[in-house]
Amino acid sequence: MQHEIVSRAEWLDARKALFDKERAMTHALDELRAERRRLPWVRVEKDYVFQGADGPVTLDALFGERSQLAIYHFMLTPGSDHICPGCSYTADHADAARQHFEHADLSFAAVSRAPVERIEAVKARMGWTFPWVSAGDGDFNYDFGVSFTQEDRDADRALYNYGLTTIKRSADMFGLSVFVKDEDGAIFHSYSTYHRGTELLMGAFNWLDLTPKGRNEVGGIMSWVRLHDQYGA
């Protein structure tokens, strides 16, 4: 990697120019976050029930004692041995971050279609402690845009990330959905994001983005990411 080598004074001039852009971006992100918080809500009418390690778990129960719930749609497909590295990367971050955000009225859980026995095996291998439940063949994954019928996949009309797309390799994709519960116990859907929108959850990228090599994705997006027990293997 070849970079221009300059004096300290020249470096400071360049850094200040970038700082102005960074500050403008920070203010723009503040406005975007505020707009996100102002999004309208949709009432959740279905009584979603998942399967947990100890039996059935309702969507309401995943809130615990909090009024907000973030659900990560983890790609773990029934009948597949594959564990999504990107989802695992996100799960590593979430399991650490929830030590903090759970004290700010936000609960977290992951949901997959794989059987709960498979979920528990992966969870044990990775050492994660967050709630992770199975949606099985229920409507939840389909309703929130992360699972697709064979018919829609064959017709290249899978609706993902707010548009029709071609999804061939898996019946499931990944994303994040946020729910809110009011004082009367009614549950609302406030936000969902998919694909690169989930980079908001991946703090390690922010560290790498501060360096000259950046994410070093020589083989494509997240090409170097592994399950955390596979680095060096």
Report domain extents, the chain: 8-37, 42-205
Tokens (6 digits) for 186: 């009614």
Q: How far apart are CA 68 and CA 157, in angstroms?
A: 32
- Determine if the pTM surpasses 0.75: yes
Topology adopted by domain 42-205: Glutaredoxin (3.40.30)
DSSP classification of residue 127: T
pLDDT at 233: 64
What does the pLDDT profile of the chain (233 residues) look like in tens digits? 688 999 999 999 999 999 999 999 999 999 999 999 999 999 999 999 999 999 999 999 999 999 999 999 999 999 999 999 999 999 999 999 999 999 999 999 999 999 999 999 999 999 999 999 999 999 999 999 999 989 989 888 889 999 988 887 789 999 999 999 999 999 999 999 999 999 999 999 999 999 999 998 887 788 899 999 999 86
pLDDT of residue 221: 83
Give the pLDDT of residue 1: 63
Under a CB-based contact definition with an 8 Å cutoff, are residues 130 and 110 in contact?
Answer: yes
Cα distance between residue 41 and residue 63, in whole Å = 17
Residue count of the chain: 233
**β strands within the chain, DSSP E:** 42-43, 49-52, 55-58, 68-73, 107-112, 132-134, 158-160, 163-165, 175-181, 187-194
Question: Which tokens sit at 25?
Answer: 């971006």
Contact 159/144 with Cβ under 8 angstroms?
no
Structure token pair of residue 130 = 């967050």
Distance (Å, whole) CA 104 – CA 57: 23
> Could you tell me which of 153, 118, 152, 157 has the C-alpha nearest to residue 135?
118
Q: What are phi and psi of 196, to 5 degrees?
A: -70, -10
**C-alpha torsion angle, residues 11, 17, 18, 21 (rounded to 10):** 170
Q: Are 134 and 112 in contact (CB under 8 A)?
A: yes
